[in-house]
Amino acid sequence: METLEHPDVQIQDVMSVTPIIIRKNETVRKAARLMKDAAVGSLIVLNEKEDIEGIITENDIVFDTVAEGLNPSEVTVQAIMSTPVHTIEGNKTILDCARIMAEKGIRRLPVTRDGEMIGMITENDILELSPALMDITREYARIQHPDELEEYSEPREREISGYCESCGVYSDRLVSKNSELICPECR
């Protein structure tokens, strides 16, 4: 049985201290270029007052712009960003963070200290320290709030946990495709 490794590590010790930001009035094309150049899957969206207003992810770009046939040079970040943004204080533990992610059905959290953003933590950061932690907290959230989590769940066909053979990211939703185990993002 897998054990929880490092559940009491503070978020500020494992987060990215240089999250990439974009303004809400910029284009989706610019957001995609920033993600590509920085090799990241998401950007923090700031408003004119430098407050966190949203998060834009690769999935937002693919599903809400490209798949809809919209021109990324004409769509603003504000039109497709994910809101509201949940944050977490840097002195909280990765266990606290994993619980919030599981309960809210999210994979990224801006990290704050006294209301100011100091970094970003992702599900992958937690999985590097404690692979079993996300599975345990997701299952706990499903048991405690089954109706609330239905919106985050997709039908599952023989999904298993492990590392995606395409991108190398840990996922609990791998499926076999062309004799490889592939995560939802790579499908």
Shared domain check, 161 and 128:
no
In DSSP notation, 71-132 reads -TTTSBHHHH-B-SPP-EETTSBHHHHHHHHHHHT-SEEEEEETTEEEEEEEHHHHHHH-HH
Question: Do 24 and 116 have their domain in common?
Answer: yes
Instruction: Give the tens place of pLDDT for each residue, 79-134.
Output: 999 999 999 999 999 888 888 888 888 889 999 999 889 999 988 888 787 777 76
Mean pLDDT of 10-29: 93
Tokens of 74: 């004409």
CA 116 to chain centre: 20
CATH number, domain at 75?
Answer: 3.10.580.10
Mean pLDDT, residues 45-55: 92
In this structure, the answer to whether residues 43 and 128 fall within a common structural domain is yes
Residue 101 within a domain = yes
Pair (160, 110) in one structural domain: no
- pLDDT mean across residues, the chain: 83
Domain for residue 144, yes or no?
A: no
- Residue 164 belongs to domain spanning: 156-187
Euclidean distance between CA atoms 85 and 108, whole angstroms: 9
Whole-number percent of the chain with pLDDT over 90: 42
Greater model confidence, 103 or 15: 15
The number of domains in the chain is: 2
